[in-house]
Amino acid sequence: MSNQIYYCKPVFRPPSEANSLLIQLTEGCTYQCDFCMSNLNKRFKIRSVHAVKRDLDTARRIYGQNIRRIFFLDGNAMVTPTDTLLELINYACELFPKLERCGVYAHSKDILKKSDEQLTQLSEAGLKIAYVGFESGYNKLLKAVNKHATKQDHIEASKKLMRAKITLSATVINGLGGANNPEISKKHAFETADLVNKICPDDDRTWYIAFLSLMVPPGTKLYEKKATGDFQEMNSTQILQELKVFIKNIDFENENANCIFRSNHASNYLPLKGVLERDKEKIIYVINNGLSHQENLRPEFYRAL
Ligand SMILES: C[S@@+](CC[C@H](N)C(=O)[O-])C[C@H]1O[C@@H](n2cnc3c(N)ncnc32)[C@H](O)[C@@H]1O
Ligand code: SF4
């Protein structure tokens, strides 16, 4: 009987799942975005139900029955057939009676492939949060980085999750358009704000928008483009200015909206946190402060994914 849980390394998980039990359900990702390392040295697969259950059993032996959160790895675990996901979530609930939520990374297209009914079944079983990479609301940029999703896909996928009562936690990449063309940065910020405005629900549920700042890791397509000079990274000033355009253009009709905004990931120059759009002015104040006191920004060598 093994006492080790299987992981296909390197392991990527959202910062907010730091204390969760991580269970490898898929390996790699079925997409291949230009900026992402998820597929480096990995070949996509969905692990067998038997192998995943064995890891859940092992976790139960190691950690006991008090696990409250599980995050199913890897890059787009939502691609897993609904029946398989349901079987595994139900099994986890039996092993861990105090389980409060399961979470996955989800590409918008994988959400759209599931029906409202399937998403509701998953939600009722225990899938309570999905981390969706928007990256941008600007279609030209989404296409340029091979995201294989449009702004409209992100809007529809977000609404589908919300209808099923699965919490949306979306990420946007600051600086994704690069420094070659300032028009792209403006459009990226403006269109992303418009996307976020359009998905704002009309109730007071909690949902999350997190900004990461672009890193260009070796092995990615973007790294090659940077090496040939086809892509130029933005500096911290350009990144913060882009973020300011995004914040300024947030305009929710629902004044009870509870959209938690964060840019406190290790890739960011300036940690920011607030509720959109209630804290708009405060966030802009902190960004302006960062712009005029660059010595307070996270140094380049401390930035990481
Ligand atoms: C492991 S991915 C999973 C998301 C999910 N597969 C999707 O595409 O919707 C998590 C997120 O990390 C962010 N990310 C990945 N590579 C990045 C990079 N090089 N720089 C900044 N953020 C990055 C993106 O926002 C990405 O959506
Ligand atoms: S960002 Fe998401 S969809 Fe794109 S390659 Fe990475 S894990 Fe896959």
pLDDT digits (tens, 9 = 90+) for 12-32: 999 999 999 999 999 999 999
pLDDT of residue 264: 83
CA–CA separation, 253 vs 102, rounded Å?
31
CA of 171 to the centre of ligand 1 (A): 7
CB of 137 within 6 A of ligand 2: the answer is no
CA of 62 to the centre of ligand 2 (A): 31
CA angle 287, 293, 294 (to 5 degrees): 90
Task: Starting from the CA of residue 217, give the closest ligand.
Answer: 1
- Ligand 1 binding pocket, CB closer than 6 Å: 12, 29, 35-36, 38, 75-76, 105-107, 132-133, 135, 171, 173, 212, 214-215, 217, 267, 305
CA–CA separation, 281 vs 51, rounded Å?
50
Task: Starting from the CA of residue 44, give the closest ligand.
Answer: 2
Does residue 109 contact residue 61 with C-beta atoms inside 8 Å? Answer: no
Q: Mean pLDDT throughout 241-256?
A: 97
CB of 75 within 6 A of ligand 2: the answer is yes
Mean pLDDT of the chain: 96
Q: Which is the closest atom of ligand 1 to the Cα of 36?
A: 16
Q: Going by CA atoms, what residue is nearest to atom 10 of ligand 1?
A: 133
pLDDT above 90 covers a percentage of the chain that reads 94
Count CB atoms within 10 A of the CB of residue 203.
10
Q: Which is the closest atom of ligand 1 to the Cα of 267?
A: 21
Mind listing the pLDDT tens digit for each residue in 116-175? 999 999 999 999 999 999 999 999 999 999 999 999 999 999 999 999 999 999 999 999
pLDDT of residue 170: 98
CA of 243 to the centre of ligand 2 (A): 22
pLDDT of residue 2: 76
CB of 28 within 6 A of ligand 2: the answer is no
CB of 108 within 6 A of ligand 2: the answer is no
H helices of 126-274, where?
139-144, 151-163, 182-199, 221-227, 236-248
Give backbone dihedrals phi and psi of 59, rounded to 5 degrees, phi first: -60, -40
CA–CA separation, 115 vs 21, rounded Å?
28
* Residue 257 in this model has a pLDDT that exceeds 80: yes
Q: Going by CA atoms, what residue is nearest to atom 17 of ligand 1?
A: 36
Ligand 1 pocket test target in 36, 44, 208 with most atoms within 8 Å of CB: 36
Q: Mean pLDDT throughout 201-209?
A: 98
Q: Which is the closest atom of ligand 1 to the Cα of 108?
A: 9
CA of 29 to the centre of ligand 2 (A): 6
pLDDT of residue 3: 86
Question: Which tokens hold the place of 29?
Answer: 């990702």
CB of 286 within 6 A of ligand 2: the answer is no
Q: Mean pLDDT throughout 55-71?
A: 98
Question: Which tokens hold the place of 16?
Answer: 């907010």
Q: Mean pLDDT throughout 179-204?
A: 97
pLDDT of residue 136: 98
Helix H or strand E segment including 168: strand 167-174
CA of 133 to the centre of ligand 2 (A): 7
Nearest CA among 281, 283, 276 for reference residue 196:
276
Q: Which is the closest atom of ligand 1 to the Cα of 37?
A: 16
Helix axes 236-248, 182-199, angle to 10 degrees: 40
